Amino acid sequence: MPDTAPSNGRLFVANRGEIALRAIRAAQALGMEAVLGVSAADRDGLGARTANRCVVLGPAQARDSYLNAGLIVHAAVSTGCTALHPGYGFLSERAELAELCAQEGITFVGPTPESIRQVGDKISARAMARAANVPMTSGTDAVEDVAHALKLAEEIGYPVITKASAGGGGRGMVVARNAEELAGAFDQAVTTAREAFGDGTLFIERYVEVARHIEVQVIGDGKGGVVHFGERDCSIQRRYQKMIEEAPAAILSPAVRKRLHEAAVRLLASINYRNAGTVEFLYDTTTEEFFFMEVNARIQVEHPVSEAITGADLVQAQLRLATGAVKGFSQKDVHTAGHAIEARIIAEDPDRDFIPCPGRITRWDPPSGEGIRVDTAVESGTMIPPYYDSMIAKLIVHGNTRAEAIDRLAAALDDFTVEGIATNIPLLKVIVAHEDFRSNTINTRWLETVLLPAFRAEQGR
């Protein structure tokens, strides 16, 4: 990738926390000014102090600030910004924001509105994957009602899983191993999806019992050129929310890894995908087959592990591509080395069923040293508000081998001191020390079915 930078330009950052700070610093490193839009709760944070300019969008509640597309674009226009980075979460995968930017002549640092819609609707994405000859599990289109669901599930064969067409994160997901379970849970799944996404449409897939969650990081040039930056294993999850991610996915054979990369590239090349995205797959550890799940049309939380093994700066790459400083990327320029692991530091208390723990951090002493990186917008004295996602930092380590990376992660967690609020660091230490994790014999259900019951027993709960 040519080492070029945008000439002048001003970036509006429409997010908060560590990804906002990451985008600000990436823009400034490329010679751009950065304007941060914040809620009233974040006006004194590290991101606000690091940006060239900060504007308050509105009250602390996300619906009145970070989720108000019209307000955000108005702020970008009024501050003379030429581009907008949406980060992840909030409005990052809403076509409405990209369209408003286009109407105002602001470059959206992400996919086109058409691509966002195409991959954001999971039923549409399945059709896209089918057309691109990407492997999928047996599944359906939209399910009309309980009776229709039962008929389709019988054809697919139990166990099955319901999924919301309009979104993810576990909302609308129900695993059913027989007709009674599906009938009993279907209506609630519809309600959950409707409340979360404003759309209760569900579809059904065959449920893979023993699976790993593998995803491929890509960047497209919008003209059919797509480059991958390797894959990540995101199988350590609780309630479908990732907690630890690794790159590469050590469980894959070279032949399967090659086919996985090819499938991800082929899929997004087929729609002339633009900017950063991730293609997610389920990997059946029994049959060594992989199946398409979804596309995330944005930069993801776990992108630093891909950066660690490739040496790329994916946020700078987003900005270079969006602003025209680079026209595309070449696969021959992407090389991987070593193994990287990311652990999400979350302001939740594992001893109390992961209850969120907002409050003021009285001591923040993160680890440092060779192969250690901490992405955060937190420092001693930071107030963690109760209004947003509870992730407060990402600890990323890199080693020559997976074993070395695990040892480095264990040592870094031991050196990570946070006082004033509870975090998941004690649980992360238990995970990293567990023989199943070290031997790489986990799956997407391992944390909830194996580790957490034992962890709670040790805590006397």
* Count of CB atoms situated within 10 Å of the CB of 390: 19
- Whole-number Å distance between alpha carbons of 123 and 365: 45
Which of 298, 344, 373, 408 is catalytic? The answer is 298
CB 359: neighbour CB atoms within 10 A?
15
CB-CB contact of 343 with 423 (8 Å): no
Q: Do residues 124 and 294 touch, judged by C-beta distance below 8 A?
A: no
Q: Three-state DSSP class for 291? A: strand
Question: What is the distance between the alpha carbons of residues 224 and 221, in angstroms, rounded to a whole number?
Answer: 7
Residue type, 239: R
Rounded Cα distance between 425 and 431, Å, is: 10
Q: Any idea what DSSP says for residue 390?
A: -
CB contact set of 431 (below 8 Å; sequence gap of 6+): 236, 243, 244, 437, 447, 451
Rg (CA), the chain: 21
Q: How far is CA 318 from CA 327, 334, 439, 450, in A?
A: 11, 15, 35, 39
- Sign for the CA dihedral angle at 283, 434, 402, 1 comes to positive
CA torsion sign for 22, 116, 63, 422 is negative
Block residue for tokens 């609630």: 188
Q: What type of residue sits at position 201?
A: T
Angle, in degrees to the nearest 10, between helices 95-103 and 113-120: 170
Cα–Cα distance, 95 to 206 (Å, whole number): 29
Task: Indicate if 16 belongs to the active site.
Answer: no
Active site residues: 298
